[in-house]
Amino acid sequence: MTKNVWIFPGQGSQAVGMGLDLAEVGRDKFAKAEQILGWSILEKSQTDATELAKTQFTQPCLYVTSAILSDVLKEKGEKPSAVAGHSLGEYSALYCAGVVDFATGLELVKQRSLLMAEASGGAMTALISFDRDQLEAAIAQTENVVLANDNSKDQVVISGTEAAVKSICDQVKSKRAIPLAVSGAFHSPLMAVASAKFAESLQRTVFNDADTPVISNVEPNDATTSGQVLRDRLIKQMTSPVRWREISLYLAEQGYEQAIEVGSGKVLTGLVKRSAPNLALVNISTLEQAIAF
């Protein structure tokens, strides 16, 4: 069997209309989601892009869509050799690996998305094509800013106070600097208050041992099936960088042959291609693609 990893997208991969073709096959999960959230995933996914991009809506919509698509693949007899997710996508990965059930995962995603949506006083900017040594040196010398998403060698996101993020953008020359439409400094120490509140919920949640190894955002070089370890790593996730570039390199080093992105968009396969160009890439973002796989 091909050694493959299923990868699950995070915030930024959402698209208007996503999941609509799953209405019938995912009927039970959409109904359960509406009960938990108090609003309809299918209705929200048909709103405009600005509304869908709000954190409190984006994260549950992505989680539910990925969960249903992974169910379709499993019902066909497909099984990953490992799973990983980008930020929010790690919750989809944990569901796929049997660490949490659908409802438990969505309850966590709901609380996480609300806490992150309520965050304020921070900023995030994506940098494309830059001198990494210069960037790392500038961050080391500047307070209140971190490398939040290390996506590939030439694409990162910095996070911190507005002043600190602007300072880095002024110091480091890049091809493009794109401010992100977020309320807070996600994946930085500035999320400590929200993270502490969320940690209480995580500690009360039962995490089963995984039936498939999970590669974590905060420990990208150590896939594990331990539910306790995965919970401990998830507690750190909100204030820690997403080390996706290292995850991609780990996949190549460990002999994975194929990366299958399960969920909306093609962001993650694009990032994997930059760091691990020898991996075969597949995108499963629709019911038709899942059935044909």
Q: Which residues are catalytic?
A: 87, 187
Reading phi first (left if > 0) and then psi (alpha if -120 to 50, else beta), residue 241 is in beta
Say if CB 237 and CB 87 are below 8 A apart.
yes
Cβ-count burial 200-231 (b if 16+ within 10 Å, e if not): eebeebebeebebbbbbbbbbeebbbebebbb
Number of CB atoms found within 10 A of residue 257's CB: 15
Give the closest residue to 57 by CA, choosing from 132, 137, 128, 112: 112
Structure tokens at 81: 């050799």
- Alpha-carbon distance of 23 to 255, in angstroms, equals 36
In a 13 Å sphere around the CA of 180, the CA atoms on its Cβ side amount to 24
DSSP of 109-144? HHHHHHHHHH--S-EEEEEEEE-HHHHHHHHHTSTT
- Alpha-carbon distance of 279 to 267, in angstroms, equals 15
